Chains A and B, each alone.
Chain A
């Protein structure tokens, strides 16, 4: 019944010429050899260029060889595959380099002395000094921000999930979304405008307020997701026993989802701990130890990194300190992340799905 055209255009056999399994490796090896040849021959010094030439040759070679042997469709499939691999490997380079350099350069001056001393009278271009003041500042600012941001965020999420219908809830939902997109520097400028009105000087808590603003929407979103995972049957079971709603929320809903909520808060803390811009505007930076977040300029880890980089006019000692502080900051953020994920896995609500 089929038209002749249809049958003609299709391959009648199940077998089609195909490249052997090892061909991608062979093409890859070939392109690397040729790339090295070109690199040496043309005297290219940058090994990144060698790599790029090899990648380009690999993609082109794959396409030419595959379309000659297997036909256009297979060639397209193969070129897509090789492009994906190349994209993946190319993207790995900067990301691996980032982690590798931070660790390698960071461990140079990262020792107990570094962690327990401030910059004090050490000039930015000289070796010595540490990040104790920055750690204190960061912990205080982030801690205070969490004390404000986390409860407001969790309560707002409870309102949205447990109570909120109607216009107010819709407005809150909408503006939480909007708030998620606020650049950190804008949050900083907002607090700054308040401080300009009150004619205040920089102090740690001002930074906390800006960080709290950045934290709230993140906590609302993650807590909302977690509360929605609590099955309605649980709430109904409790309400049916005559337990008032607020006790149901406190005793049934929150305990069920506490793992996920904690995870969300920790991820939010990890995010704000790395914020530099609002701290730069509001806390100003300080090379001495200031334990009081409510008065006087403070330091914070991310700001410390920035200032060591930008105010030291290229001194190696300052760069070393910047890397060491980066490593400390990354370690802090990663530990928070890993712990948060651990809690999420450990306390994951069993939804019976």
Chain B
């Protein structure tokens, strides 16, 4: 029990017996406690060690690669790790990762929030329970299955949409289409949106369900329509929860590998049009280039993985900051 003495905050409940036990019950008991505490604390420390090791080893291998990089790691528009000296840069990957995730978020968040509202406030009760359950299960479908479906079913169905976008919005430049297979950044964005839809829907639904009844009744009693109740009570209460749900989805979209690798025709350049094939993302590039990569090539891929790691850390950090703020805020009116 001596370990708990090092704490700075008084433990809430069971600790008071600790002193008693210490005086009365030495020997076998203490050994058992010590072993158990050692094991559980060891596990916690192991987690920290793993995290540290991930950061250290990725950084080390990445530094090996970057030191050999003949191009500029941040701005070079090519990925030629077999050249002597190798020349590679992450600009294209960073662009593709951001663009595809932004498209995915723009499509998925409004739809997911609508479905969550639909399930909590509009759908008949008998329907919303089972539907929520199914959506929950869909969140567990492996991404490779989304990838296979995307490549074999979604891609052939996108010709119509792409043609239409090109015809009416082609003049904007970002929606022009030269008629290649619809395996572009927009395809990736759409597939990622479909993939992260269930998870964002589920978390948002949980948040909307927690809106206190009294807030909704307050709006109802003022003569608000159902939509006005949502505007006045549900959305303000759920805003930060929806944001953190979206961040969760964004984290998935940023790091998704297989669903991107199956539907994208990657090239190592930046297309101005979202409809023309080309571009790439961090994760997809690692998966596609890994097979033929040499030792240096793998290190270069590790370097790009490190950048992806840092980006997802930032996104998750932002999500956590938002959740923390929400806690303070909801405490005011508990």
Contacts and interface: CB of A to CB of B under 8 A. Distances in A.
A306 interface: yes
Nearest to A240: B17
Nearest to B191: A94
A186 B255 contact: yes
A163 B138 contact: no
Chain B contact residues (Cβ within 8 angstroms of A): what range?
Answer: 35 or more
Nearest to B159: A46
A184 B318 CA distance: 20
A323 to B, nearest CB: 7
A353 to B, nearest CB: 15
B58 A189 contact: yes
A108 interface: no
A246 B43 contact: no
A7 interface: no
Contacts of B46: 152, 156
Interface in A324-340: 326, 329-330, 333-334, 337-338
Interface in A234-280: 235-236, 239-240, 242, 244-250, 267, 270-271, 273-277, 280
A180 interface: yes
B228 interface: yes
Contacts of B154: 94
B118 to A, nearest CB: 4
Given A183-B308, A186-B58, A242-B25, A101 B149 contact: yes
A166 B9 contact: yes
A185 B6 contact: no
Given A245-B1, A326-B145, A185 B41 contact: no
A159 B262 contact: no
A77 interface: yes
Contacts of B117: 84
Contacts of B272: none
Nearest to B315: A181
Nearest to A195: B298
A91 B25 CA distance: 62
Interface stretch (B30-38, B169-177, B206-214): B30-38
Contact of A274 (B11, B144, B228, B283): B144
A81 B227 contact: yes
Contact of A245 (B14, B110, B251, B302): B14
Given A81-B122, A166-B8, A276-B257, A91 B115 contact: yes
Provide the main secondary structure of the chain A interface: helix
Interface in A77-113: 77, 80-81, 83-85, 87-88, 90-91, 94-95, 97-99, 101-102
Interface stretch (B47-55, B72-80, B88-96, B326-334): B47-55
Among A193, A242, A246, the one with the most B-chain Cβ atoms within 10 Å of its Cβ is: A193
Contacts of A192: 298, 302
Contacts of A167: 8
Nearest to B320: A177
Nearest to B119: A88
A319 interface: yes
A162 B44 CA distance: 12
B265 to A, nearest CB: 12
A305 interface: yes
B148 A181 contact: no
B82 interface: no
Interface in A159-206: 159-160, 162-169, 171-172, 175-187, 189-190, 192-194, 196-197
Nearest to A175: B51
Contact of A84 (B118, B138, B152): B118
